[in-house]
Structure 1
Amino acid sequence: MGLLSIIRKIKRKEKKRLAGASLFVLANKQDNQGALKPAEIAKVLKLETMHTHRLKKKNL
């Protein structure tokens, strides 16, 4: 078994282990120049690709 297949196997196990886990993203300091907007943060984190989790966006 090569190194890449070992890494893939570990990633699959981690993905299964984290399925259903909660993820909280806090977009603090929105008033700072250069701060990413919540939609930009969601894009960078690829939140739309997380089909095993519910996604709820809330602006405070």
Structure 2
Amino acid sequence: MSKVIDYYFSITSPWTYMGGGRLIEIAERHGATITYKPVDLGGKIFPISGGLPLPKRPLQRQAYRLA
């Protein structure tokens, strides 16, 4: 049975960029392949979950994320 990692990610997320290389290393170490599944958080997920994209949040909430 082949090992597959379904990787749901947002192309605008800094976490995607920072963790991408590590995910590839882990997959290679365990003989797994990665199935990339981009997700549109701003256009699809946030409206139905009640969340707000960072630019639409109050400035105080934006500021603490950038520290």
Q: TM-score, normalised by structure 1?
A: 0.32
Q: TM-score, normalised by structure 2?
A: 0.30
Q: Which has the higher strand share?
A: 2
Q: Which has the higher helix share?
A: 2
